Amino acid sequence: MFELALYGGAFNPPHAGHAQVMIQASFQARRVLVAPSFRHPYGKRMVDYEVRLKWLEAIVERVQPLCDAQVHASRVEQVVARDVEGPIYSYTLLAHLADSLALDGKRIALAVGQDVADLLPTFYRGEELLERFSILCMEETIHVRSTLVRERLALGKPLPSDWMAPGLNPLNYDLYATHGNRHAN
């Protein structure tokens, strides 16, 4: 059991797959932090940070009863951004958490899907990240991506109900339909 699992991402928009990862991570950590990107490493254009954070708070509230551990939507990336120029990287977030909580890095797990796990060696300080911290590779059980959600909405097509994150009002997704895919990379 990990002391802490960090689940970070753009969450642009969050979807049912994200909610499923939150639940799965709660079975393997005492606490789960869900951290929306404040300054994305790849310069992704995203809906306003505060909006995405509020969405994640609503989702966490709905999934918490299904979780074994406390799950929190976290401002950790915003906090780290105060002292860091440029993008915020996974290694930087994990190091901040390890230092501020006085935890051995191996007690902290970065929760990722297999698609991201395969890329970790190419991340900023990827080899150090893999040596210093644990990785919690989550099985994808709901096959949806934020890009697919944005593309479908930009075309004016409705979302399948099983793609929508619990706690997220369908009207929240209308932001993407109204503005098209301009929030994409």
18-30 pLDDT, tens digit per residue, is 999 999 999 999 9
Alpha helical stretches, state H, the chain: 16-26, 49-63, 76-81, 90-101, 114-117, 126-132, 146-154, 170-179
49-77 pLDDT, tens digit per residue, is 999 999 999 999 999 999 999 999 999 99
Which residues neighbour 103 within 8 Å (Cβ) at sequence distance 6 or greater? 3, 4, 97
Say which residue, 15 or 182, is predicted with more confidence. 15
Closest by Cα among 7, 4, 10, 13 to 167: 13
> Would you say residue 183 has pLDDT above 50?
no
Domains of the chain with CATH codes: 4-142 (3.40.50.620)
Spacing of C-alpha 60 from chain mean position:
12
Query: What pLDDT sits at residue 153?
Result: 86
Both tokens of residue 118?
A: 């395969």
- Phi–psi pair at 157, nearest 5 degrees: -90, 145
Length of the chain: 185
Task: Give the predicted TM-score (pTM) of the model.
Answer: 0.91
Which run of H or of E encompasses 136? strand 134-138
76-101 pLDDT, tens digit per residue, is 999 999 998 889 999 999 999 999 99
DSSP 139: P
